[in-house]
Chain A
Amino acid sequence: MRKERQKWQAHPRAGGPHEGIAPVNMPWEIYLACSDGERINTDTYEALHETIDLDGLYDLLEMRDVLSSWKHAQMFNSDWQREHQ
């Protein structure tokens, strides 16, 4: 077992009083792996049922988190550069 479980992205309903619906027919991990926040990637969804195992799913989620962290770092760095120019 991986010693440290993936820290999943925050539930989008947790940030305020407004709530969307949560997926009920599938685990959250499947939803997160297939969604880029705007669209659902049906190829990934199909692969998670046919060719990708649990290890691969956790890799996908880790890659999403890494990419997300880079985007946030880039955004914060832009703010930092403006403040220090």
Chain B
Amino acid sequence: MGTIKTHESVIDDKTYFCKTFPASEGLILLPKMLSLLGEEVANLIFGLEDADLDGLLEDAKIVTQMIIRISERAAETDGLLVLRDLMRYTECDKVKVGDAEVRASVHERFDSHFAGDYGHLIRVAVWVGRASFANP
């Protein structure tokens, strides 16, 4: 289609909603993403079918390796903040706001939402990245 769409997915019992990026923002973010991921991880994320990738992301060892690889590259690039930028148009139905869990922007509560749960962060980031950039 080529126009901005909203995607929805359940990840670790939380429902996420994300919009594809406008072209102007996607063009700026895509090179940063590829730089952070590196060719190997980027091919893994963008080159696989959904079912194959889901299988990989259930493997804790592979997710850990991805976190290590991305962390190594983060020191040479804009860092993990690129992942927060990636979630500019992402919402989750279970974001903690005070004592309640509500649907809210993940971008605005990035630090607290993903604190101590980097495996979940990677799974969400992979899904958002594929929803936003898998077609171009």
B136 touches A50 (CB 8 A): no
- B4:A57 contact, CB within 8 angstroms: no
> What string of 1s and 0s marks CB contacts (under 8 Å) between B12-29 and chain A?
000000001111111110
Q: Does B46 contact A (CB under 8 A)?
A: yes
Chain A contacts to B: CB under 8 angstroms: 1-2, 26-27, 29-30, 33, 48-60
- Cβ–Cβ contact B23 & A56, under 8 A: yes
- Whether B100 is near chain A, meaning CB under 8 Å from some CB there, is no
Closest-CB distance, B129 to chain A (whole angstroms): 11
- B114: shortest Cβ distance to chain A, in Å? 25
CB distance from A33 to the nearest CB of B (A): 8
Judged by a CB distance under 8 angstroms, whether B5 is at the interface is yes
Q: From residue 1 to 53 of chain B, which have CB atoms closer than 8 A to chain A?
A: 1-5, 20-28, 30, 46-47
**Are A56 and B24 within 8 A (Cβ)?**
no
Q: A60 CA to B21 CA in the complex, in Å? A: 16
Q: CA A15 – CA B25 in complex, angstroms?
A: 30
- Contacts of B39-89 to chain A: CB distance below 8 A: 46-47
A37 to B77, CA, bound (A): 36
Residues of chain B within 8 A of A29, CB atoms compared? 23, 27
